[in-house]
């Protein structure tokens, strides 16, 4: 009987201690070492969706060590990095059709190989099949002043002609992957056919071509000719001489800039474009001081 009472007492003590240990147990919420990231970037008439894991440096040497040179890298952490396009986009001078692609890289000390693969379901690079590559090309890396503790992907460096870059950043390394929308090629093809070859005399077409050349910093002399031709065909359109004065100013032909600006002022006053007229008069006064 005494043994049974002792056993029950010990059992009760064990349960009590176990309950106390459970009550005082601490569950630390440790931040993930490689957080996932997804972002969507509008680019011209399309959207690009990027999904990737973001590993941290944590005092380690990355390229040439943790990420070996001349070896396939998942370009992130966790699942494979993916790029998804809703419309065609030009990457590294190749037109990529709409779809979802995995992004791999082969880092090197002086050159990186960029790989777009059609299998976007991989965990890291496990199961990677080179036969499913859609595109391979090489890029020269550059060194950054800033130190990037966390691996980052961004789409930046936008230009008016539909160019941008997909940037890979980690440690002091930057890899710029060139992007382009097909829109610029399409617009230039139409300009080449309709204006340079067929010599169409259409005020709106001439104005749009001049404006596109001006915005994308192409041949400004040609843009000026198209703007003047458009003005002759549509003498009541304020936007045409207003564009022409900007083009001539950029060409530093201030005499012509003042002439077309004065024509724009006359139209602007007739059409009650008060703020635009005030800005033009201010520009003309500045040019007169430069004589």
Greatest CA span in the chain, whole angstroms?
A: 119
Instruction: Answer whether residue 120 shows pLDDT above 70.
Output: yes
> Tens digits of per-residue pLDDT, 94-106?
999 999 999 999 9
The arrangement of secondary structure in 183-289, i.e. its CATH architecture, is Alpha Horseshoe (1.25)
Give rounded-to-5 percent helix, strand, coil for the chain: 40, 30, 30
Angle at 41 between CA 40 and CA 44, to 5 degrees: 140
Asked whether the beta carbons of 248 and 261 are under 8 A apart, the reply is: no
Look up residue 67 and give its DSSP letter.
Answer: B
Could you tell me the pLDDT band of residue 30, with boundaries at 50, 70 and 90? Answer: low
pLDDT of residue 213: 94
Query: What is the three-class DSSP state of 131?
Result: helix
Break the chain into its structural domains and give their ranges: 36-180, 183-289
Please name the residue ranges forming H helices in 147-238: 183-191, 203-215, 220-233
> Tens digits of per-residue pLDDT, 246-257?
999 999 999 999
The residue that leads in pLDDT, 45 or 155, is 155
Angle at 106 between CA 101 and CA 112, to 5 degrees: 100
Could you tell me the pLDDT band of residue 6, with boundaries at 50, 70 and 90? Answer: very low
Instruction: Answer whether residue 10 shows pLDDT above 50.
Output: no
Q: Across residues 195-205, what is the average pLDDT? A: 93
pLDDT of residue 18: 58
> Tens digits of per-residue pLDDT, 159-176?
988 899 999 999 999 999
Q: How far apart are CA 240 and CA 214, in angstroms?
A: 12
Please name the residue ranges forming H helices in 121-219: 183-191, 203-215
Q: How far apart are CA 178 and CA 187, in angstroms?
A: 19
- Model's pTM, two decimal places? 0.75
- Relative to beta strand 89-91, strand 163-180 is antiparallel
Number of residues written out for the chain = 291
Could you tell me the pLDDT band of residue 43, with boundaries at 50, 70 and 90? Answer: confident
């Amino acid at each position: 009987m005494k043994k049974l009472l002792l056993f029950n007492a010990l059992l009760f003590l064990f349960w009590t201690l176990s309950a106390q240990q459970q009550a005082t147990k601490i569950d630390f919420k440790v931040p993930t070492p490689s957080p996932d990231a997804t972002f969507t970037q509008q680019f011209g008439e399309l959207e690009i969706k990027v999904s990737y894991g973001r590993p941290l440096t944590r005092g380690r040497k990355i390229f040439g060590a943790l990420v070996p040179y001349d070896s396939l890298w998942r370009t992130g952490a966790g699942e494979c990095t993916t790029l998804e396009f809703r419309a065609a986009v030009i990457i590294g001078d190749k037109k990529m059709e709409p779809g979802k692609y995995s992004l791999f890289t082969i880092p090197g000390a002086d050159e990186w190989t960029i790989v777009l693969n059609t299998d976007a379901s991989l965990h890291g690079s496990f199961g990677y099949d080179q036969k499913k590559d859609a595109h391979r090309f090489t890029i020269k890396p550059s060194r950054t002043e800033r130190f990037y503790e966390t691996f980052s992907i961004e789409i930046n460096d936008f230009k008016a002609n539909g160019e941008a870059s997909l940037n890979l950043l980690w440690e002091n390394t930057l890899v710029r992957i060139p992007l382009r929308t097909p829109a610029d090629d399409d617009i230039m093809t139409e300009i080449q056919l309709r204006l340079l070859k067929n010599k169409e005399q259409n005020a709106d077409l001439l104005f749009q071509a001049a404006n596109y050349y001006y915005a994308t910093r192409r041949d400004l002399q040609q843009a000026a000719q198209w703007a003047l031709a458009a003005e002759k065909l549509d003498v009541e359109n304020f936007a045409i001489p207003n564009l022409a004065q900007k083009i001539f100013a950029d060409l530093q032909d201030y005499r012509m800039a003042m002439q077309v600006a004065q024509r724009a002022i006359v139209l602007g006053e007739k059409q009650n474009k008060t703020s635009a007229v005030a800005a033009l008069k201010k520009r003309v006064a500045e040019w007169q001081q430069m004589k």
